[in-house]
Structure 1
Amino acid sequence: MPELPDVEGFRRVAQRAEGRQVRGVQVRDAQVLRGVGSAEFQEALRRRYFGEPWRCGKWLVIPTAGAPNAEPGAPAVLAHFGMTGSFEWCGHGGEVHRHDRVVFDFAPGELRYHDMRKLTGLHLARQRGEVDELLAELGPDAQRIGAEEFGERLTRTRRGIKAALMDQSVLAGLGNICADELLWRARVHPNRATTELTADDLDQLHREMRAMLRDAVRAGRVPDDASWLTGHRDAPDQRCPRCSTALRRTRVGGRGTLWCPACQSD
């Protein structure tokens, strides 16, 4: 599932269209549109100029303007990538994949919304207030939250730490893979109650989260390097990259969870 680092990578792809005029929009599968029909979506964006895309957690917002130097405003495209969504930049004339659901046409190329499972998709915010409404339930972005607010928001949830980290209303951007990676780095058991975390635990979690996201955002994805827990998720012999102990799998909040019983004792 795309998480904060992946969406940051999609943001960089969408930057290829920044300042470019939409010549046309091809909706190849209207099931990925949320709250808007194909005709309205196409007409609202045709001849608009894409502004600078920005991210909030797992959401990507692309404002538009009526002229190249105009202030970006409504309408705006909001993308949530669900399990299998992505943005891809392609040259003209390239073969359109069957999972390319929406294609934005620009003079130098095409921005394609690609999604196999179609669990979420693209929203059209007709006014600025609609952007705020769609993002209203989100907590602070995980890459930007300060240490004090991070600790306060986690400890008021009274749940297991992994469930709290993945709750987008508490903290926006972390998913299953990032949460496992962070807890392994901080040596915290995924089922440990947030109310049991000390001030030092919370500071350590915040530092490790910032370092992890910095490296992952630079890569545009959660790296699967051998030094990362993520790099061992699909290994036939799953062992901790820090101590070589056999990793364990369990379910937390209905999600498959990978952890090290030696490094993350409960």
Structure 2
Amino acid sequence: MPELPDVEGFREVLASCAQGKRIKRVEVNDAGVLHGVSAGRLSRDLEGRRFGEPERHGKWLLARTDGPTVMLHFGMTGQLVCCRETDPPHPHDRVVFTVGRDHLSYRDQRKLQGLWLADDADVARILHDQGPDAMSVDRAEFDELLSRRRSRIKSALTDQSVLAGLGNLLADEILWRARLHSERPADELTDDERRRLHTEMRRTLRSSVRAGRVPTRKSWLTGRRDDPNPTCPRCDGPLNRKRVGGRGTVWCPRCQPARS
């Protein structure tokens, strides 16, 4: 599933492919990815407009124009792809924006999320229930958010109303790096544990954004979690698997004890 680093990569695709360019044509190949707007209105309201500087908040991408904003959420399998006008069409290209000689395509196999057409009030309404962006939240706000949550720490990290942008892979990676068990209650963490968690979250996100995704390096938990008999990159001990809050969770029982 696309998480914050992936969406930041899509923001860069949008900026390099379309920023400042006029939208010559909008082709909707599958209206099933549109939310609250028809294919005809999407085309009418966007054709002739220019894309401005895109923004990201958590897992949301905001494609600003000199008119309305296109809000994109990528669900499980969505992505944003820049193609040449002469490239063959892809079967999962649901909406295609022609900008100059390029095509900017919203490509999605499973169609679990999609596109919204929003004015400023709509953008504020849709993002109202989102927590602060995980890349920009400072230590004081991070402490305040977690200290009042009674849920398990992994559930708090992946709750978009608490902190926007973290998904299953990132949460497991960050908790492993911070040596914290995923089932620890968030409000029981010590000041030192929250400090360590915030530091490792920032480090993990910076590395993931540079890579354009959550890396699958063998020095990362994400590079081991799908092995047949996964072992910890730090201590080489066996990793455990369990569902926590409905999510497949991987951790090292030696490095991440249930109690500190």
Q: Normalising by structure 2, report the TM-score.
A: 0.98
Deviation at 1:95, TM superposition (A): 1.3
Matches within 5 A, 1:107-118: 107-118=100-111
Q: Deviations over 1:128-172 (max 9, x none)?
A: 111111111100000000001101101211110000000000000
Aligned to 2:120: 128
Aligned to 1:191: 183
Deviation at 1:236, TM superposition (A): 2.0
**Distance in 1 of aligned mates of 2:187 and 2:226:** 32
Aligned to 2:77: 84
Q: Deviations over 1:54-76 (max 9, x none)?
A: 100000001101xxxxxxxx300
Structure 1 residue 43 corresponds to structure 2 residue 44: yes
Structure 1 residue 95 corresponds to structure 2 residue 96: no
Q: Which runs of 4+ in 1 moved over 6 A?
A: none
Structure 1 residue 255 corresponds to structure 2 residue 247: yes
**Could you list the runs of 5+ residues in structure 2 that have no partner in the other structure?**
none
CA RMSD across the alignment: 0.7
Aligned to 1:32: 33
Deviation at 1:217, TM superposition (A): 0.6
**Distance in 2 of aligned mates of 1:78 and 1:243:** 43
- Secondary structure in 2 matching 1:49: coil
Q: Which residue identity is paired with 1:32?
A: V
Deviation at 1:235, TM superposition (A): 1.4
Matches within 5 A, 1:45-64: 45-64=46-65
Out of 163, 171, 174, the residue aligned to residue 155 of structure 2 is: 163
Deviation at 1:195, TM superposition (A): 1.9
Aligned to 1:238: 230
Aligned to 1:70: none
**Distance in 1 of aligned mates of 2:226 and 2:180:** 22
Deviation at 1:237, TM superposition (A): 2.3
Matches within 5 A, 1:130-149: 130-149=122-141
Deviation at 1:233, TM superposition (A): 1.8
Structure 1 residue 226 corresponds to structure 2 residue 227: no
- Secondary structure in 1 matching 2:23: coil
Count of residue correspondences? 257
- Secondary structure in 2 matching 1:61: strand
Out of 255, 262, 265, the residue aligned to residue 257 of structure 2 is: 265
Deviation at 1:234, TM superposition (A): 1.6
Q: Which residue identity is paired with 1:204?
A: R
Q: Deviations over 1:233-265 (max 9, x none)?
A: 221220000001111110111000010010001
Q: Normalising by structure 1, report the TM-score.
A: 0.95
Q: Deviations over 1:96-155 (max 9, x none)?
A: 111110000011301000001100100000x21111111111000000000011011012
Structure 1 residue 22 corresponds to structure 2 residue 35: no
**Distance in 2 of aligned mates of 1:151 and 1:245:** 31
